[in-house]
Amino acid sequence: MQAPLHSPTPSACPRLALFDLDHTLLLGDSDVLWCEFLMDQGVLDRAAFESRNRDIEARYKAGSVDPAEFANFYVSTLAGRTPAQWEPLRQQFLRQVVQPRIPPAALALVRSHQQQGDQVVLTTATNHFLTELTAIHLGIGEVIATEPALRDGVFTGATTGVLNMREGKVTRLHAWLAERGLALAGFDSTGYSDSINDLPLLEAVDTPVAVHADARLAAIAAERGWKSLRLD
């Protein structure tokens, strides 16, 4: 079903559109798909990773997984290689796995905000290295994501800084704005997400929009009268 294009109400404030990625603009989860992709490529041992991948995915969807456990499990898949060594696989992952899962309606929604002059930001719990190519494909120039740590140019398998997940998304957003001399209160802000994990972000913006919402978020959205979309 095609989603209606964004139709902003007149506002004296500049507009800010914040997009979650996984299960929102992307029909799937980048981290889970990356893990499956690496198992298919023989880079990760399926016996060691498959069951844990499924377990962490299930607990993330339920909103019960520990953010550090979630982030560090998926960032650990990068350990021991440089960004340049990962680049061929990252490009292949984008072409074969990510691009086919971005529906035209998602691209159209992003473009509608951009055409209205809104500042558009992709904000995702998935790590920056994995998602920056997706952002480029979406035409989004600003990305707030979990940051993987490097030592001597090599991924350590750990994260650094505040994780961009749950309350961390709000913390990172405020920090991103402050670095630019801006504040969230100065914007007419809209946030899009599918997940109960993003409830803090959706509560922080002026216009929360549930996209392909999970059961818990859908219930909250219905109770509070939030907008709801499908982009698939």
Residue range 136-178, pLDDT digits in tens: 999 999 999 999 999 999 999 999 999 999 999 999 999 999 9
* Averaged pLDDT score across all residues of the chain: 94
Does residue 1 belong to any structural domain of this protein?
Answer: no
Does residue 53 belong to any structural domain of this protein?
Answer: yes
Q: Say if residues 218 and 227 touch (Cβ distance below 8 Å).
A: no
- Given this model, what pLDDT does residue 2 score? 42
106: domain CATH number is 3.40.50.1000
Does residue 66 belong to any structural domain of this protein?
Answer: yes
How far is the C-alpha of 171 from the C-alpha of 27, rounded, in Å? 26
pLDDT of 77 over the 80 cut = yes
Does residue 7 belong to any structural domain of this protein?
Answer: no
Residue range 54-70, pLDDT digits in tens: 898 899 888 888 889 98
- Determine the Cα angle at 121 with ends 116 and 124, to 5°: 145
- Given this model, what pLDDT does residue 35 score? 94
Does residue 88 belong to any structural domain of this protein?
Answer: yes
Does residue 212 belong to any structural domain of this protein?
Answer: yes
Q: Quick check: is 66 catalytic?
A: no
Measuring CA to CA, how many Å separate 151 from each of 75, 88, 94? 14, 21, 25
Domain count, the chain: 1
Residue range 29-54, pLDDT digits in tens: 999 999 999 999 999 999 988 998 88
Q: List the domain range (segments joined by +) for residue 162.
A: 15-229
Residue range 186-204, pLDDT digits in tens: 999 999 999 999 999 999 9
Q: Quick check: is 198 catalytic?
A: no
Residue range 19-35, pLDDT digits in tens: 999 999 999 999 999 99
Does residue 19 belong to any structural domain of this protein?
Answer: yes
Q: Is the pTM of this model over 0.85?
A: yes
pLDDT of 1 over the 50 cut = no
Burial group, residue 28, by CB count within 10 angstroms (0-12, 13-18, 19+)? middle
Does residue 28 belong to any structural domain of this protein?
Answer: yes
Strands (E), 13-55: 15-19
